[in-house]
Chain A
């Protein structure tokens, strides 16, 4: 086996392969993963069902290339969104870099071996979008009486592999300015991390803004209730002010927007063309154009990695030696143990660049997504359905799912690393240590919830009652989830790690809270969608929703608190 294959195999095994203490833990893990897939599968299934009508309409109106192209592009955007943290951690901040640089390997070998690990990690997310959507596309095409070649499915599989690869290579390009920012602010890592967060947020805004503008334009194209579009049967009607607008009318109105996005995304457009073109020569030509663009990306990625990868990573290896010497005249103040622990906890987050960036992103991205998805929903559904409830549903899903994804609580114990053994020696009540971690996580969650609630109001889709309901219920809800997350992590922390991604990978402690919180988010979203078709009093719905959410959260919160208190000594003792 050559050194590249050997290294790649080892890195895959080390980063992605789950390890279990016993068979019981393995079973629990599998059940949790299945439950999580089912839970997260619900929005995917809803999306796929919705996509069928859209794709069928696209086939009839000759927009299929553009729709497929837009779907592929969306998968890449999601990969970029989810891949950035994994990329930066595995590529730059992993503790194995120092070891790997001493081995007789070219920098490019290390770069590509790590890139493949990240690709496999991200492949799952893009496959969940690309494969079901392509299958739906195939069914819609066949149902419309058109023929499909085997090339469609071959290209589908290649797309599943190559689209995330391109996205990861894009993330690689994006990472260079990020790492230069961190290098520039080496002596002030917290400030550097804040600049990185602003930079990434700006990138996401740059991605979402055109989509929002296109959606805004498409809303103007939505026909009124009496307009006709094609001869497709309506798959569902929506009602506003007594006028009926068919689903196919809505699809027909938003398809031009897909056309704009899909056509200008050349690589995905060529891919879509290669899949459905009925002339084999032209299909081959489009496929070659797509492969050419991927190869170009890979070439640029390799060249830049050859120039910059080791330089930037070595810079991080030296970071321990770069210190800013503070001249402080502030008097020394004696703090009680809780305050001292709290101070240490905040510092441990703010001074750890990757952790701070991830927590910062998870604090800022939910409000951004709430705003943009709410705006897009408001624009596309403005004249047809009750956008308010759907916007609440989107906000609820985003806050609950991403709130539980934040590592402030879910790896509160594990991120101590082997330093946890030092923490165990402190003459402090262990409940205090746990409580401090929960309080810090709650502070960060509250910031995210407040910003998300404000973002929700800025979409113009909700009332002040919705705002209060989202704000109050989610603060209590995520407090309970944070408590649960810390408890789960305390039960079996992963303290022996080389990079922080290893803690979150294949870790039940991070999966369980996501599952529980995500399930709550999905339920909230489904309920809000149901309310769009049932004519109920908005205030009554908000009140019922708040009472139910807060009650369940409080019961959950105190149950976990009691359980933690009973077991904290034993659980700390078992950490080894």
Chain B
């Protein structure tokens, strides 16, 4: 049985000053080698969940474990295992791409040889070699996204988290990124990403979780989900489940589906 890389148990998050939960009783697990997609309409709670997992937002209810480290009890060790690509691709604009990559390598304690090798590989893959010494302020949206991806991968994280990663990327870069995600999983790591693009999720992922209004509606492998509704596409399935947010469908380990109502 493969090891758990990310384990979320009953995570609930209510923003201060808000009456409603943004995320409620969320539980799922990402195992070693899995490419896991997190689907949901706008405002479903995807980014909130990802921000809780990465430590950007605090949470009071539930637990998050990354590679066996509880995020509350041991945040530094837990975060060492994460590489995060946010949706707003925060970057210090006065830095060059090279400086940013080295900064991330320093923060994650990556040795000189490893960082040289990895940054060369990724800069070439994303056609950024010629731009690596230019300030990030001169980069386009897509180029900044690529730099964020390289910064997140420079320490070869066990868990690579991406929030809407394909937004703003050209077709070639999007293809490269998807290949990179698959390759990362093949090396025994895991990828967890949020997306709106159902076709990409359908082709790329091993597992998927659908969230709406803070509630997990369904989680399981692609086969399990296809088995649930063989006649329709994932897109139709997505629309049908997000229209009825009361139902939570959780597939068991032995591939037998079962329905369960949370409320």
Q: Give the chain A neighbours of B94 by CB distance below 8 A.
A: 13-14, 17, 19
B18 in the interface (beta carbon within 8 A) = yes
Whether A186 sits at the interface, judged by CB under 8 Å, is: yes
A424 at the interface (CB under 8 A from B): no
Q: Does A535 contact B (CB under 8 A)?
A: no
- Interface presence of B55 (CB below 8 A): yes
Whole-angstrom distance between the alpha carbons of A116 and B226 in the complex? 55
* Interface residues as binary, B228-260 with A (CB distance below 8 Å gives 1, 0 otherwise): 000000000000000000000000000000000
Interface size on B, residues (CB 8 A): 32
What is the interface of chain A, defined by CB distance below 8 A to chain B? 1, 3, 6-7, 10, 13-14, 17, 19, 95-96, 98-99, 101-106, 183, 186-187, 310-311, 314-315, 317-318, 321-323, 496, 498
Decide: A102 and B82 in contact? CB cutoff 8 A. yes
Cβ < 8 Å to A, chain B residues 75-133: 75-80, 82, 84, 86, 90, 92-95, 103, 106-109
- Complex interface: chain B residues within 8 A of A498 (CB): 90, 92-93
Q: Report yes or no: B106 in contact with A322, Cβ–Cβ below 8 A.
A: no
Q: How far is the CB of A249 from chain B (nearest CB, A)?
A: 55
A-B contact pairs, 22 of them (CB 8 A): A1-B106, A10-B103, A13-B94, A19-B94, A96-B90, A98-B90, A99-B86, A102-B54, A102-B86, A103-B79, A104-B76, A104-B78, A104-B79, A104-B80, A104-B108, A105-B79, A186-B16, A314-B57, A317-B57, A318-B16, A321-B18, A322-B16
Is B15 among interface residues, defined by CB-CB distance under 8 A?
A: yes
Contact (Cβ within 8 A) A321 B84: no
Residues of B within 8 A of A104 (CB): 75-80, 107-108
Residue B194 at the chain A interface, CB threshold 8 Å: no
The complex places the Cα of A256 from the Cα of B137 at a distance, in Å, of 57
Interface 0/1 of B34-66, CB less than 8 Å to A: 000000000000000001001111100000000
Instruction: Check B54 against A105 for contact (C-beta < 8 Å).
Output: no
The residue that B109 contacts in the complex, of A3, A13, A321, with Cβ under 8 A, is A3
Q: Is there an interface contact between A318 and B86, defined as CB atoms closer than 8 Å?
A: no
Q: Which residues of A contact B82 (CB under 8 A)?
A: 102
| Given A99-B86, A183-B16, residue A318 in contact with residue B106 (CB < 8 A) | no
| Total A-B contacts with CB atoms under 8 angstroms apart | 83
Which of A3, A13, A96, A183 is within 8 Å of B106, CB to CB? A3
Please indicate the chain A residues that have their CB under 8 angstroms from the CB of B80 in the complex: 104
Determine which of A7, A101, A183, A496 lies in contact with B56 in the assembled complex, contact meaning CB atoms within 8 Å. A101
Q: Closest CB of chain B to A140's CB: distance in Å?
A: 44
The residue among A1, A99, A106 with the most chain B CB atoms within 10 A of its own CB is A99
7 closest A-B pairs by beta carbon, nearest first, are A322-B17, A321-B15, A104-B79, A6-B106, A99-B90, A102-B54, A104-B80
Distance, CA A6 to CA B16, complexed state (A): 33
A496 with B15: in contact, given A102-B56, A103-B79, A310-B58 (CB under 8 Å)? no
Does B22 touch A at the CB level, under 8 Å? yes
In the bound assembly, the distance between CA atoms of A96 and B90 in angstroms comes to 7
The docked-state distance in angstroms from the alpha carbon of A7 to that of B108 is 11
Give the A-binding residues of B (Cβ under 8 A). Answer: 15-18, 22, 51, 54-58, 75-80, 82, 84, 86, 90, 92-95, 103, 106-109, 135, 137
Q: Within 8 Å CB of B55, what residues of A?
A: 101-102
With A101-B55, A310-B58 as contacts: A6 and B103 at CB distance below 8 Å: yes
Q: Are B22 and A321 in contact (CB under 8 A)?
A: yes
Contact A102 B79 (CB under 8 A): yes
Apart from A101-B56, A314-B58, what are 19 other A-B pairs with CB-CB below 8 Å?
A: A3-B106, A6-B103, A13-B94, A14-B94, A17-B94, A19-B135, A95-B90, A99-B90, A101-B55, A102-B56, A102-B86, A104-B77, A104-B80, A186-B17, A310-B58, A314-B57, A318-B57, A496-B93, A498-B92
Q: Are B107 and A105 in contact (CB under 8 A)?
A: yes
Q: Find out whether the CB atom of B17 lies under 8 angstroms from the CB atom of A105.
A: no
Bound Cα distance from A103 to B155, whole angstroms: 12
Known: A14-B92, A17-B94. A105 touches B15 (CB 8 A): no
In the complex where A1-B106, A321-B15, A321-B22 touch, is A98 in contact with B56 (Cβ < 8 A)? yes
Contacts of B92 in A (CB 8 A): 10, 14, 96, 498
